[in-house]
A = this chain, B = another copy of it.
Amino acid sequence: MTRGFVGKILKVDLTTKNITTEPIEEEVAKKYLGGKGYAVYLLYQYIKQYELKGISPQNIDPLGKENVLIFATGPGTGVPRFPSSGRHHVMALKAPLTGSIGSGNAGGEWGAFLKFSGFDGIVIEGVSDAPVYLALIDGKAEIRDAGELWGKNTMDTTRALMNSVGGKNTSVACIGPAGENLIPMAVIMNDEYRAAGRAGLGAVMGSKRLKAIIVSGDQKVPVAKSEEFRKVADRCLDAIKNNSVTGEGLPTYGTAVLVNVINTAGAFPYKNWQTGIMPDAEDISGETLTKEYLVRKRACWGCTIGCGRISSVKSGPFQILNAEGPEYETIWSLGSACGINGFAAIVKAHHLCNELGLDPISLGSTIAAAMELNEKGYIPEEHLQGWVLEFGNAAVIVEAAWRTAYKIGFGKHLALGSRKLCSLYGHPDFSMAVKGLEMPAYDPRGIKGMGLGYATSNRGGCHLTGYTVAPEIVGIPEKIDPLTTEDKARWVKLFQDFASVINSTVNCQFASFALGAKDYAELLSAVTGWDLSEGEVLKIGERIYNLERVIMSRLGFDGKDDTLPPRLLREPMPEGPAKWHIVDLEKMKREYYTLRGWANGVPTPEKLEELEIEL
């Protein structure tokens, strides 16, 4: 064994209750690393199988028995001193909200502890007829009855399972009522405070009647060249400590540090993206959070950054003690997007999202779209059942969490997500989503690279696959002009490829504020025993992104889906640094496709051959 994998993947067929294990294939791992990359490779094998059986991937029901759900770790996961490596990646062949590939990455402890339990990944097939959970304990795996857990919130589910198993290195990933109720913005929560959050992975889990996965154990994660690794890791951890973002901004203010930064850049979407400046952003900034709501900080397993927060709203109608977060994206989606300028309701609504298992980005954005629809007179009053759906109404976001998770009253419409909701009311343009996935908190009219990133992200409107905010706003690795489209195609491709490496490693993207591809090459070489160069690492990333794109094309997506909501393409930003700007997407897209070697958004045979992708 010359690599850092424990070496096996658990395969569970919930229809037949058959459990098997498969070794990680080293040749595949060398091409796709682990985590997201290995999962994409496995998902592609399912695509091939289904096509051989005459099942078109386009016809697969995201909530049906053919969908496949994968939990994956990578060579870095759970390795002591590997920077911020307590994470795991979750993928589904098809996401309920979008119909695109499902993909999510979560922190916490679960990823590391999965590895300590003796497994590197889990592949879930089929559908159970009754609620079950999986127990992976010290190398053994069991499907167990979850009848008593069904209906419970994520906290009660987690605590009940933790109490039943006990011991150190024990962790639970689970769904809440939203996942059980197949809400297409349901998340998979782990450790009560982290989520694989986007496009309805929780609903996929719910459709399989898989309530939870508990992992526990103390199996060692091997490191091929331990002395070399220690040296590289120490250097990387130092770099993280000395970096202004990872050593100062994130530890001090959490991800909320971005509120003032992005608002100052005029790219903090306000009231369903009608402008990019929130007048009272200071009220929901990281600085205010720290001063008035922060109880303490919190770090994921193996993380020296510690961006997590615990906050309390000590009095008033939105009172809640020791709630997790809120994160920047949540503060924006439940706050600025809905015109809400107070932390109390945001912290409370976010807590409910965690409890019930909802994605706060999609929830907040969908509420914001509904608010705009309502204010413009497109929602019949009787649909609201006494609710006052107006920008700035803080009570709405709190109540919306309950209503959406259970499809109660107007919640049944919010539960559709913004794309279907806006179509239902005849104004699809109000949905600020790409491929049906609501975009996060960066207006690309003010950060052009993000526009190309959103448009070409495989899973839909996502900031994590091409986070050019780093160079465009923060100046990492170098400061570039956020308002030009120049050279953005190259940056977006680079960040997408690099993010694919990080999500396959699996560790935290925040580490990459301080670490470059060269650092990852050295870290991964030491852990796996392979000899990886910076270029090889980025090529692996490119390969993963391309194979994922191949799956997207089999699911029916092509260049026409690589687009942005009309508001960003046609309505100039009304104020601030990006005043008069729209996103000239077509220009960037052309350059990007050329750089990618894609035709109409689909990799050409030549590109696939170059990347050694075998179809």
Task: Please list the residues of chain A having a beta carbon within 8 angstroms of any beta carbon in chain B.
Answer: 151-153, 155-156, 177, 181, 312, 316-323, 345, 351, 355-356, 385-388, 393-395, 402, 406-409, 412
Contacts and interface: CB of A to CB of B under 8 A. Distances in A.
B386 A351 contact: yes
B317 A395 contact: yes
A357 to B, nearest CB: 11
A589 to B, nearest CB: 42
Contacts of A388: 319, 321
23 contacts: A151-B406, A151-B407, A152-B408, A152-B412, A155-B385, A155-B409, A156-B408, A156-B409, A156-B412, A316-B395, A317-B317, A317-B318, A317-B345, A318-B395, A320-B387, A321-B387, A321-B388, A322-B386, A355-B408, A355-B409, A356-B408, A402-B402, A406-B406
A260 to B, nearest CB: 27
A233 to B, nearest CB: 36
Contacts of A177: 406, 408
A276 B345 CA distance: 35
Contacts of A387: 320-321
Interface-central residue, A323, A386, A394, by most chain B CB under 10 Å: A386
Contacts of A406: 151, 177, 406
Contacts of A152: 407-408, 412
A318 B407 CA distance: 20
A319 B393 contact: yes
Contacts of A394: 317
Contact of A320 (B153, B322, B356, B386): B386
A393 B317 CA distance: 8
Nearest to A393: B319
A497 B412 CA distance: 47
Interface-central residue, A345, A406, A409, by most chain B CB under 10 Å: A406
Nearest to A384: B321
Contacts of A356: 408
A248 B394 CA distance: 40
A540 B340 CA distance: 62
Contacts of A345: 317
Contacts of A318: 317, 395
A409 B345 CA distance: 19
A386 B321 contact: yes
Contact of A386 (B151, B323, B395): B323
Nearest to A351: B386
Nearest to A159: B382
Nearest to A412: B156
A363 to B, nearest CB: 16
Contacts of A355: 385, 408-409
A397 to B, nearest CB: 11
Given A351-B386, A386-B351, A408 B153 contact: yes
Given A151-B406, A316-B317, A355-B409, 20 more contacts: A151-B181, A153-B408, A153-B409, A155-B385, A156-B409, A156-B412, A177-B406, A177-B408, A312-B386, A316-B395, A317-B318, A317-B395, A319-B395, A321-B386, A321-B387, A322-B386, A323-B386, A351-B386, A355-B385, A406-B406
Contacts of A407: 151-152
A505 to B, nearest CB: 34
A393 B355 CA distance: 21
Interface-central residue, A316, A317, A355, by most chain B CB under 10 Å: A317
Contacts of A151: 181, 406-407
A411 to B, nearest CB: 9
